[in-house]
Amino acid sequence: MDLHSLDMDVVRDDPEDGRWAAFVRRDQGADGQFVVAVETTCIYCRPTCPARRPLRKNVRFLPDAATAERQGYRACRRCKPHLAQLPSEALVEKVKALIVADLEAPPGLDALARAVGLSAAHLQKTFKKHTGLSPKEFVSAVRLERWKAELRAGKPVTEAWLEAGYGSAGRAYAAARKQMGMSPAQYGKGGAGQRITWTLLDTPLGALLLARTEKGLCRVAFGENARTLESMLRSEFPAAELERASPESDVRLRAAAVALGERSGAEQLPLDIRATAFQRQVWQALRAIPSGSTASYADVARSVGHPRAVRAVARACATNPVALAVPCHRVVHSDGSLSGYRWGPERKRALLAAERDAVGPGQV
């Protein structure tokens, strides 16, 4: 795929099987399963909204309110779709609150199950479906994020891990080694002591930032202009040593730029990115999707061994920090229609079209 020959034509999403019919009959069972976005008004609704029904040609179906908001739609004031929540989601939020209330000694699975009136097995299954994590894994993830927040706020390392609920320094440092990619002290200083080399490429899809550490690519991101992308990188690593280079002067950045523009090779690029265990599973699965092909969120969920964690897969795609190197643009709805993309749906359509053209018919 040549990054300098991408087609930016916008193609309308294909109709989603069954969703229009559910919307027409205001199916109560569809509430919370998707939202209805109206392109002419830039408003999105619940499938059960009692308002006058728009024309089919003006309707798009999106997975949830968050996706609609990211794409610029406003919530309907009549049906309030941003407040719609499935009972199972409310249950999961209650369990999260019980866990976060005491991170030092969080309730175990059996205690959590009793608190919400479920069996331990049912709770484990429901929680993992919606978050991609077991309650135990969720405890680890929240502790780490709280520790990182305390470090960024300037707390001493020891005080920070105590505030985060770690019972010992050993447990805290084990988590840091596995997921931070740097010492806690370095993280607390905004990456102080870490060297990041970066460059910007001019593509038909806008500016593309490539940034690497000694270990591998740490950021690949599209943006509207160079200033915005540079500001993003500096705000994320405020104390790191940032060195701008040209692809011609930096061998590894040049190799990355070439690989990202080829039909294959990007999936082999070394990465230096922070991730939860579930995110890492999902991102590895995305790198296995061949160029010119797509997979559904459900396909990815099955491939990582969590077939019902479709929403958690979507969240992992939305937090992918390295565009193209982890090809989240190759994930679509089960019916083949496109969904949201962190760097914009037009870019997603153009990338997929360019990959299909490069592979050619019957060669995927």
| CATH classification of the domain holding 253 | 3.30.160.70
Q: What is the mean pLDDT of residues 243-262?
A: 86
Range scoring the smallest mean pLDDT among 25-29, 69-73, 221-225, 360-364: 360-364
Residues 241 and 298 in one domain: no
Q: Are residues 282 and 348 in the same domain?
A: yes
Residues 79 and 106 placed together within one structural domain of the fold: no
Instruction: Decide if 13 is inside a domain.
Output: no
Tell me whether strands 35-38 and 43-45 are parallel, antiparallel or unpaired: antiparallel
Token digits of residue 252: 């590894």
Confidence band for 161, pLDDT divided at 50, 70 and 90: low
Q: Is residue 331 part of a domain?
A: yes
Mind listing the pLDDT tens digit for each residue in 265-285?
A: 788 899 988 777 788 889 999
Mean pLDDT of the chain: 80
Indicate which CATH number applies to the domain containing 28: 3.40.10.10
58: amino acid identity, one letter:
N
| φ, ψ dihedrals at 38, nearest 5° | -105, 115
> At residue 14, what are phi and psi to the nearest 5 degrees?
-70, 155
Burial 15-32 (b: 16+ CB within 10 A, else e): ebeebbebbeeeeeebbb
Domain span at residue 159? 87-188
- Outline where DSSP puts E strands in 276-345: 295-296, 331-332
Write the single-letter amino acid at 276.
Answer: T
Q: Within 13 A of 344's CA, how many CA atoms are on the CB side?
A: 12
Whole-number Å distance between alpha carbons of 68 and 46:
11
Instruction: Classify residue 64: in a domain, yes or no.
Output: yes
Q: Are the CB atoms for 250 and 199 separated by under 8 Å? A: yes
- Examine the pLDDT at 217 and tell me if it is beyond 80: yes
Which of the residues are catalytic? 45, 328
CA 129 to chain CA centroid, Å, is: 16
Sign of CA dihedral 49, 52, 55, 58: negative
Neighbouring residues of 12: CB distance < 8 A, sequence distance ≥ 6: none
Cβ atoms of 227 and 272 within 8 Å: the answer is no
- On whether residue 6 sits in a domain, the answer given is no
For the stretch 56-84, pLDDT in tens is 999 999 988 888 888 889 999 998 887 76
What single-letter amino acid sits at 69?
E
Query: Do 63 and 79 fall within a single domain?
Result: yes
Helices 109-116, 120-131: inter-axial angle, 10-degree rounding: 90
Domain count for the chain: 4
Residue 125 sits at the vertex; the CA angle it makes with 122 and 130, to the nearest 5 degrees, is 125
Whether 98 and 166 share a structural domain: yes
Secondary structure class of 85 (helix, strand, coil): coil
The whole-number average pLDDT for the span 170-191 is: 55
How open is the CA angle 150-153-154, to the nearest 5 degrees?
95
Task: List the structure tokens of 237.
Answer: 């690593």
Is 11 contained in some domain?
no
